[in-house]
Amino acid sequence: MLAQEIIRIKRDGHTLARPHIDSFVKGLVDGSWSEGQAAALAMAMFLKGMRRDETVALTQAMTHSGLVMDWSSAKLNGPILDKHSSGGVGDKISLMLAPLVAACGGVVPMISGRGLGHTGGTLDKLGSIPGYNATPDVATLHHALQAAGCAIIGQTADLAPADRRLYAIRDVTATVESVPLITASILSKKLAAGLQGLVMDVKVGNGAFADSLDMASTLAESLVQVAGGAGLPTRAWITDMNQVLGHTAGNALEVLEAVAFLKGQATEPRQLEVTRRLSAELLLMGGLATDEAEALQKIDQALQSGRGLDQFSRMVTALGGPADFVDRPTHYLASAPVTLAVPAPRSGFVTGMATRDIGLAVVELGGGRRLASDTVDPRVGFSDFAQIGQAVQAGEPLAVVHAADVASAERARASLLSLIHIGDTAPELAPVLVKYITV
């Protein structure tokens, strides 16, 4: 089947049949489609759109372009569950959710990514833990899941390889922002992980890929419906990303906050609500609770009893990190040599944040990537963020900068002062859980 004929069909706005899509995905993997041909079809898909059945076919073809995990030999006692976020600033939910769900009987093999652009990556956060192996062999992964019930790792070379090549092409051809292509990219990796249930956290707001509720709803509905069509039960929550989630943004700082959360010491209300509801959704999908009230109660018990913290500790140890990491996280996590408070320029109420720009400020400090090849400094970022609606006095800290040197700390402080807004009256607070999407 000629590549140019498949491109022509989509260029002219027609529907691609499954054999067309299978041929395209095969060409991505074996190299029989050139970069130019793959880019041309990606642009045609971007401009002409894709029907739901086309997106299901693309998702399934990319899923089966490489290894599909089979957990039958791993001797795991629980449903295979996972959560995925569309990305934000300060979003460390995965670090708390995975061990809490594991503490309630779920098994969470979470394949996560590294940060690019203004969003932080879960693997970069865990990479700040000495010895943590995010690319374990199969035996080590099985051991981690048996010992801890969860393992947060990176995508291996043989998992959905067609997606890896297509994403690299989309990244340099301005075709990333396509809902069908985003859907197929996310779900192909999740389906290849052999899941039995998935919950999606689709962010909306000025720090999210989807800056409007309509756009977030379109993406969430696509993910839920295509996943269902491909055989993976999926539900989604649209959650607010108009401010930093929690009190920190930056890799080691977010790990510290996650550990404190699991110890019951840093339960910022918005962060707690998102973690509880997404975790409870997975318990319901896995048959580990009969209704929402029971699911929330089980998550609360796992948090309050310390069982979630214990599962996190087991995961870190099983994947090569220190056995006493949760007892002495500040001993193991590198800290920035320079800290600088960002004083409020006036008294009033925090009324808003330019959240995406705050994420970019973390990148400027060295805590993120402009290019996939960039090295990340795990020490840098921001902590102690004031929350929207909080009353502040002139001179009180709005946040604390953690930087590698004085000059970059001062630049970050000046930047942050323009990105956190203060007004005379308290704003109306938006809910963090915006909309629930199911089939």
- How many C-beta atoms lie closer than 10 Å to residue 186's C-beta? 23
For residues 108 and 116, the answer to whether their CB atoms sit within 8 Å is no
For the question of residue 83 being annotated catalytic, the response is: yes
- How many C-beta atoms lie closer than 10 Å to residue 393's C-beta? 10
Q: Where in the chain is the domain with CATH 3.90.1170.30?
A: 334-423
pLDDT in tens, the chain (439 residues): 899 999 999 999 999 999 999 999 999 999 999 999 999 999 999 999 999 999 999 999 999 999 998 898 888 989 999 999 988 899 999 999 999 999 999 999 998 876 666 777 888 899 999 999 999 988 999 999 999 999 999 877 788 999 989 988 997 888 888 999 999 999 999 999 999 999 999 999 999 988 999 999 999 999 999 999 999 999 999 999 999 999 999 999 999 999 999 999 988 999 999 999 999 999 999 999 999 999 999 999 999 999 999 999 999 999 999 999 999 999 999 999 999 999 999 999 999 999 999 999 999 999 987 766 678 899 999 999 999 999 999 999 999 999 999 999 999 999 999 999 999 999 999 999 999 999 8
For the question of residue 75 being annotated catalytic, the response is: no
- Superfamily of domain 3-49 in the CATH hierarchy: Transferase, Pyrimidine Nucleoside Phosphorylase; Chain C (1.20.970.10)
Q: Which of 55, 59, 63, 84 is catalytic?
A: 84
Look at residue 82 in the predicted model and tell me its pLDDT: 96
Q: Which tens digit of pLDDT belongs to each residue from 271-322? A: 999 999 999 999 999 999 999 999 999 999 999 999 999 999 999 999 999 9
Look at residue 116 in the predicted model and tell me its pLDDT: 61
Q: Which of 125, 164, 189, 276 is catalytic?
A: 189
Between CA 320 and CA 200, with CA 314 as vertex, the angle to 5 degrees is 100
Q: Which one, of 7, 18, 13, lies nearest residue 229 by Cα?
A: 18
Fold of 81-329: Pyrimidine Nucleoside Phosphorylase; Chain A, domain 2 (3.40.1030)
Q: Which of 118, 170, 270, 298 is catalytic?
A: 170
For the question of residue 84 being annotated catalytic, the response is: yes
234-240 and 197-204: which strand pairing?
parallel
Q: Where in the chain is the domain with CATH 1.20.970.10?
A: 3-49
DSSP assignments along 90-148, one per residue: S--HHHHHHHHHHHTT-BEEEEE---BTTB--HHHHHTTSTT--SS--HHHHHHHHHHH
Q: Which of 185, 248, 317, 408 is catalytic?
A: 185
Q: Where in the chain is the domain with CATH 3.40.1030.10?
A: 81-329
Look at residue 372 in the predicted model and tell me its pLDDT: 64
CATH of domain 334-423: 3.90.1170.30
Look at residue 374 in the predicted model and tell me its pLDDT: 74
Distances (CA, A) of 376 to 175, 176, 217, 258, 356: 26, 23, 32, 19, 18
Report the SS3 class of residue 288. coil
- 81 in the Ramachandran plot: left (φ > 0), alpha (ψ -120 to 50) or beta? beta
C-alpha to C-alpha distance for 427 and 348, rounded to whole angstroms: 11
DSSP assignments along 183-248, one per residue: HHHHHHHHHHTT-SEEEEEEEESTTSSB-SHHHHHHHHHHHHHHHHHTT--EEEEEEE-SS-SSS-
User: What are residue 242's phi and psi, to 5 degrees?
Assistant: -95, 5
Q: Which one, of 211, 112, 107, 200, lies nearest residue 149 by Cα?
A: 107
Q: Which one, of 264, 273, 274, 269, lies nearest residue 303 by Cα?
A: 264
Classify the C-alpha dihedral 403-404-409-411 as positive or negative.
negative
Q: Which of 59, 85, 156, 408 is catalytic?
A: 85
For the question of residue 85 being annotated catalytic, the response is: yes
Look at residue 117 in the predicted model and tell me its pLDDT: 64
Give the HSE-up count for residue 50: Cα atoms under 13 Å, Cβ half-sphere. Answer: 27
Look at residue 371 in the predicted model and tell me its pLDDT: 67
Beta strands in 269-383 (DSSP E): 338-343, 348-353, 381-383
C-alpha to C-alpha distance for 367 and 377, rounded to whole angstroms: 5
For the question of residue 170 being annotated catalytic, the response is: yes
Q: Which of 114, 125, 164, 190 is catalytic?
A: 190
C-alpha to C-alpha distance for 43 and 28, rounded to whole angstroms: 15
C-alpha to C-alpha distance for 403 and 346, rounded to whole angstroms: 25
For the question of residue 263 being annotated catalytic, the response is: no
Look at residue 266 in the predicted model and tell me its pLDDT: 81
Look at residue 158 in the predicted model and tell me its pLDDT: 85
For the question of residue 298 being annotated catalytic, the response is: no
